[in-house]
Structure 1
Amino acid sequence: MQVTETLNEGLKRGYTITVTAAELDAKVDEKLSEAQPEIEMKGFRKGKVPMPLLKRQFGKRLLGEAMQEAVDGAMNKHFEDSGDRPAMRPDVTMTNEDWSEGDDVVVALNYEALPQIELPDLSGITLEKLVVKADDVAVDEALENLAKSAQSFEDKDGAAEDGDQLTLDFVGKIDGEPFEGGAAEDFALVLGSGQFIPGFEEQLVGASAGEEKAVTVSFPDDYGAEHLAGKEAVFDCTIKAVKAPAEAKIDDELATRFGVEDLDTLKGQIRERLEAEYAQAARAVMKRGLLDQLDETVTFDLPPSLVEAEAKQIAHQLWHDENKDTDPNDHSHGEIEPTEEHVKLAERRVKLGLLLAEIGSKAEIEVSDQEMTQAVIQQARQYPGQERQFFEFIQQNPQMQQQLRAPIFEDKVVDHVVEQVSVTEKEIDKDALQKAVEALDED
């Protein structure tokens, strides 16, 4: 077997791999020898079939396997000896297309190698860690929102107003016939909440307890249920009760409704939650500062194929962000040509991705099974009632596993780097933190 270099420009590599006919023949013989003890054939005892007969019977079938294994073995040895790591799947092409049994096999191997990355001196990096304390105003504001979320209602006399809660029975009909899912009893509806399709709640403003009212609405053309989309429906409603919002009281009773013993304890929990949110936002700001400095400090060649793929992905994602009615997984819109801005952003992402991967590799940073399980559980919560199916989907999908693992790995590497650099704390208020976070989106 012979490996000959044909291209070495920047990160581009090209090689010719030649596997001789004799090597292939020996590989086939090896496979037959391994299988011979288990082979039975008419006229011969098990394991006693002559090798020439086995070769005539099975040789051609095994030749393809031998070729593949020989080429794969040569490639693996090449990468082991050279230390090259391909940026993307190597291009492997058989060059002697007129090959026939008894000929050598000649394969062209082409790929882009990942660059050799010299890690920067982290001691020269300085970061600013923003610290925000939750003041009483922020705690009181959060308490008020919490009280509103626990809104209660009290019976009232007279007509319903926007914000009131109705208890009603209703039956929806299309062309005079009830339709599936269009009826309910003792349904609690807050007017103005937008629970129902447009036009429904507005027609119930002014209704009183005991009143019967026919509400006529049209389902939107893009309604989720196709058999209802665009159709006019009449809902026969019976108003059973009208209730007005009760005054939201912030007291110990409110605290007990949220599972704590008194108001002071609830305030303490809110303060801790707010400061945890501030810390998370501040970490995002500090992380951006770190990545900016690493981007400016480190320089190395980037694999063009990785940059091109990332730029296309960015262009595709931004196109769907601008066309929100489209499916992000739909690629039928045709080729979206990346702009210079997309390419520039792709270069930054590829550079930082490769750099953080190298830092993580040198520091032997890994994502544990427990961390992956926690990530899967967190994602599964977005699919209530379908958690088991989501777990099974992740287990069977290596690409999704990588999508979950990548941000965990990146955060662990960032934490590792932060431990190596100089960090100073700066106390600010929440408004200043909000501006710093908003600035991240503007860059």
Structure 2
Amino acid sequence: MPRAQDKLKHQSKAGCTMDVSVETTSAIGRKMTVKVPAEQLDGAVAARLKRLARTAKIPGFRPGKIPMKVIESRFADQALAEAADEIISSSYREAINGESLDAAGPPSIEPKNLTRGEDLEFIANFEVFPEVPRTDIQDMPIERQTCEVVDDDIDRTIETLREQRTTYEAAEKASEEGDRVLMDFEGRVDGEVFEGGEAKDYPVVLGKGALLPE
């Protein structure tokens, strides 16, 4: 299948221009590559490190007085991962909105570059809803389905309804076909009772073949 690719630039909420390219991989498949400028990632990491500097607790330092170099050495990786995750999530939403794409589900995200001082780049693979052409149903032929009901059909239906609504009363007589009896039974395989193969006071209508033959 031929692949079409569009390359566009979009303005992110942070005011930075991000590069977006969309490749059609199938009728509903899309592969979107997004590149976010380094300054947006670096700014987000720096903001997180500053917040951590105000709240972090490290032995030997008073809260809020920890040197930024110490904060960097302890929390740089954490801040980078959190910042990148947030930027990828927001950039993906902005990119599909900017491209007027209607994603049918969550994307598969593949980070390509998450290095401070360099552009953040990731690939999002996802599917879009298929385009359904509008159809004028006014001129569509409609075939009316008909069926013939004969007396036998009516008789069978009446008999089925009669059986479904049958009521039973206790009787002091030998049971016969059509009677309902309550019975206890055990099902065995190689002489052993198997799970779910036993019951007590189980209602059975004689002659209906509800149980396995002996």
Normalised by the size of structure 1, how large is the TM-score? 0.33
**Residue 23 of structure 1 pairs with residue 27 of structure 2:** no
Tell me, yes or no, if the aligned pair for 1:95 and 1:108 is still in contact at 8 Å. Answer: yes
**Residue 120 of structure 1 pairs with residue 113 of structure 2:** no
Q: Structure 2 vs 1, CA of residues 93 and 172 (structure 1 numbering), >3 Å: closer, same or farther?
A: closer
For residues 134-191 of structure 1, give each alpha carbon's deviation from its aligned partner in whole angstroms, at most 9, with x where no partner exists: 999987765543332315365546xx6543455667789999999998685x776433
Counterpart-to-counterpart distance in 1, 2:50 and 2:101: 35
Q: 56, 63, 84: which one pairs with 1:39?
A: 56
Aligned residue identity for 1:107: F
Counterpart-to-counterpart distance in 2, 1:37 and 1:195: 75
**Which protein has the bigger strand share?**
2
Aligned residue identity for 1:79: I
Aligned residue identity for 1:196: L
Q: Structure 2 vs 1, CA of residues 75 and 142 (structure 1 numbering), >3 Å: closer, same or farther?
A: same
Which residue pairs with 2:103 in the alignment? 86
Q: Structure 2 vs 1, CA of residues 187 and 107 (structure 1 numbering), >3 Å: closer, same or farther?
A: closer
Q: Structure 2 vs 1, CA of residues 103 and 173 (structure 1 numbering), >3 Å: closer, same or farther?
A: closer
Q: Structure 2 vs 1, CA of residues 32 and 139 (structure 1 numbering), >3 Å: closer, same or farther?
A: farther
Cα displacement (A) at 1:77: 0.9
Which residue pairs with 2:21 in the alignment? 5
Query: Where do 1:43-442 residues align within 5 Å?
Result: 43-87=60-104, 89-95=106-112, 101-117=116-132, 119-125=134-140, 127=142, 142-149=157-164, 150-152=166-168, 155-156=172-173, 161-165=176-180, 184=200, 189-199=204-214
Cα displacement (A) at 1:79: 0.6
**Which protein has the bigger helix share?**
1
* Matched positions, count: 193
Cα displacement (A) at 1:33: 3.2
Identity of aligned residues (%): 28
The 3-state SS of whatever aligns with 1:18 is: strand
Cα displacement (A) at 1:78: 0.7
Aligned residue identity for 1:108: I
Q: Unpaired segments of 5 or more residues in structure 2?
A: 1-16
Which residue pairs with 2:10 in the alignment? none
Q: Structure 2 vs 1, CA of residues 166 and 22 (structure 1 numbering), >3 Å: closer, same or farther?
A: closer
Q: Structure 2 vs 1, CA of residues 93 and 198 (structure 1 numbering), >3 Å: closer, same or farther?
A: same
Normalised by the size of structure 2, how large is the TM-score? 0.59
Tell me, yes or no, if the aligned pair for 1:3 and 1:15 is still in contact at 8 Å. Answer: no
The 3-state SS of whatever aligns with 2:33 is: strand
